[in-house]
């Protein structure tokens, strides 16, 4: 089974497959935890989740890493202005993010490293770059990457070389400490930021004095820590191409001498709201909480987020989410009818969803083909509804209904659509239960079954049941 996906670097749709023939190693830039994630963030994370599910169904054994940025200008600014520790602030937003992800039915990454817990790895990477002569220390003690030492700089976004030439004259007087900047200001970027008064207590000790790593560095250090120096795919929103991903490529490939840092680059296009760019001033950076307050389910939002092709901007509107909600409802009604025809119940469908391999797609074959051909989620959704019409109008035997239902379970698993969304609407899993469930899952995966059972009992005592799948688990109220 071949999965094809557009690669930003080569500008081509390419086959993706694990290069070590064991697992498909991929890294996605995660959330900066200084506030709730908005629907634009969730578009990217949901599409990455769909990709992971397709890889899983195809037997390509995905290994998914997504970081948490818990040290940067924004998180530190918030910690200082609220007078709370950076850890306290970032943990609060991380918990909210996790709860949102669970409601949106996203599989948790296999590892979710935090920048603040990988400072030694980042310091080591800076030392390597200094030793290779592609980084230097400025007068204030900060360390910069010298982009003129990396001839391929700009290859991902195909930056104009002339544009670069005039901008790389950074010297000791040049103080570009911003983590984010525009193409017009291409310049040496900071790997290490020397401690400043407004950093408060948020600093670490390095061979170059007190300070903290620059934002771009963490993704190189953590992806290489967990996936090796060259891996299969790197994902993120299109806005991360420049400068973030260019900088990741430059520092990683210079440090290791291995090319490429990532073999495939997967970017999703912007989300716009009512035809306008999302912005704080327009008040249209909606969160999941705000969408739910307007009466929609998390599943309707998920449906909407995958209803456009990932390479095209998606226009979020409330008419669109109304349509998504009714499509989900239609899917749910259809599944209930099919189940009752063959005397099966909802739980049977859920267990079919968790069996994630198949070679019989029945009437859903075109829906699956759309997914593996450049992740064409809108075509997949269209094909699902055509298949439902065919199934309804054909005179099928019980066996044929069962096999089509199984294919439908797989395709809804691939899209991460939980058709029983109305029931899910009222189920909010408390944080303490989620934490216990996470502990149990970790214990189970490390084969400590006694510990896992202990957690299961604790979870049950609190009124919740854990249902295990191959790749994840579900929490259901008793
Ligand atoms: Zn990143």
Residue spans of the domains in the chain: they are 3-268, 271-424, 429-477
Residues flanking ion ligand 1, Cβ below 5 Å: 29, 219
C-alpha of residue 91 to centroid of ligand 1, in Å: 19
Distance of CA 122 from the midpoint of ligand 1 (Å)? 13
The fraction of the chain above a pLDDT of 70, given in percent, is 91
Q: Is 337 exposed, middle or buried (0-12, 13-18, 19+ CB in 10 A)?
A: exposed
* 3-268: CATH topology: Rossmann fold (3.40.50)
Report CA(27)–ligand 1 centroid distance (Å): 9
Average pLDDT, rounded, for the chain? 90
Distance 282 CA to ligand 1 centre (A): 27
277 CA from centroid of ligand 1 (Å): 22
What confidence score (pLDDT) does residue 168 get? 43
For residue 467, what pLDDT band results from cuts at 50, 70 and 90?
confident
Interval between CA 29 and ligand 1 midpoint (Å): 4
What is the Å distance from ligand 1's center to 28 Cα?
7
Beta strands across the sheet bearing 24-32: 62-69, 24-32, 233-237, 265-268
CATH 1.10.599.10 fits 271-424, yes or no: no
Segment 322-334 mean pLDDT? 92
The average pLDDT across 250-255 equals 97
Q: Higher confidence at residue 21 or residue 305?
A: 305
pLDDT digits 0-9 by tens, 213-241:
999 999 999 999 999 999 999 999 999 99
Segment 322-338 shows an average pLDDT of 91
pLDDT at 429: 66
Cα 134 to middle of ligand 1, angstroms: 20
The DSSP annotation for 397-444 comes to -HHHHHHHHHHHHHHHHHHT--TTHHHHHT----HHHHHHHHHHHHHH
CA of 30 to the centre of ligand 1 (A): 7
Helix (H, G, I), strand (E, B) or coil at 157: coil
Stretch among 140-149, 178-187, 335-344 having the lowest mean pLDDT? 178-187
User: How far is Cα 90 from Cα 306, in angstroms, rounded to an integer?
Assistant: 28
**Would you state the pLDDT for residue 26?**
98
Can you say how many angstroms the Cα of residue 276 is from the centroid of all Cα atoms in its chain?
A: 24
Residue 421, pLDDT score = 64
> pLDDT at residue 138 above 70?
yes
Q: What is the pLDDT of residues 160-195, one digit of tens each?
A: 654 654 444 444 444 556 666 655 556 899 999 999
3-state secondary structure of 342: coil
pLDDT tens-digit profile of 390-418?
Answer: 999 998 999 999 899 999 999 999 999 98
What distance in angstroms lies between residue 297's CA and the mean position of ligand 1's atoms?
30
């Amino acid at each position: 089974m071949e999965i094809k996906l557009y690669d930003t670097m080569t500008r081509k749709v390419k086959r993706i497959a694990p290069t070590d023939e064991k697992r498909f190693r991929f890294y996605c830039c995660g959330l900066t935890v200084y506030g709730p994630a908005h629907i634009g963030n969730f578009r990217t994370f949901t599409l990455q989740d769909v990709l992971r599910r397709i890889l899983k169904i195809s037997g390509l054994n995905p290994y998914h890493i997504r970081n948490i940025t818990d040290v940067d200008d924004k998180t530190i600014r918030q910690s200082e202005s609220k007078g709370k520790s950076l850890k306290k602030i970032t943990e609060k937003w991380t918990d909210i993010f996790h709860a949102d992800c669970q409601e949106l039915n996203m599989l948790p990454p296999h590892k979710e490293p935090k920048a603040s817990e990988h400072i030694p790895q980042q310091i080591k990477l800076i030392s390597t770059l200094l030793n290779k002569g592609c980084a230097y220390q400025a007068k204030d003690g900060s360390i910069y990457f010298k982009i003129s030492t990396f001839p391929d700089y700009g290859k991902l976004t195909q930056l104009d070389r002339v544009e670069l030439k005039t901008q790389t004259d950074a010297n000791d007087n040049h103080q570009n400490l911003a983590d984010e900047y525009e193409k017009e200001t291409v310049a040496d970027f900071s790997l290490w930021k020397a401690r400043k008064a407004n950093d408060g207590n948020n600093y670490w000790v390095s061979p170059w004095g007190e300070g903290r790593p620059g934002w771009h560095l963490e993704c190189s250090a953590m992806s290489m820590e967990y996936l090796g120096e060259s891996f299969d795919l790197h994902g993120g929103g299109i806005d991360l191409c420049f400068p973030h991903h260019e900088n990741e490529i430059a520092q990683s490939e210079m440090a290791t001498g291995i090319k490429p840092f990532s073999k495939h680059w997967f970017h999703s296009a912007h989300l716009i709201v009512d035809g306008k760019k999302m912005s704080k001033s327009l008040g249209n950076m909606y969160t999941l909480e705000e969408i739910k307050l307007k009466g929609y389910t998390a599943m309707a939002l998920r449906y909407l987020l995958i209803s456009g092709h990932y390479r095209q901007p998606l226009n979020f509107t409330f008419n669109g989410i109304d349509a998504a909600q009714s499509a989900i409802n239609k899917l749910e009604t259809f599944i209930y009818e099919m189940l009752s025809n063959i005397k099966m119940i909802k739980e049977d469908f859920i267990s079919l969803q968790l069996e994630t391999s198949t070679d019989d797609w029945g009437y859903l074959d075109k829906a699956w083909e759309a997914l593996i051909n450049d992740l064409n989620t809108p075509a997949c959704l269209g094909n699902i509804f055509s298949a439902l019409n065919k199934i309804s109008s054909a005179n099928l035997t019980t066996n044929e209904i069962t096999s089509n239902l199984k294919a439908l379970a797989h395709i809804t698993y691939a899209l991460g659509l939980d058709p029983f969304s109305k029931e899910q609407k009222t189920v909010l899993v408390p944080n303490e239960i989620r934490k216990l469930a996470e502990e149990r899952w970790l214990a189970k995966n490390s084969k400590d079954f006694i510990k896992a059972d202990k957690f299961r009992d604790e979870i049950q005592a609190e009124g919740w049941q854990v249902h295990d799948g191959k790749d994840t688990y579900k929490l259901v109220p008793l």
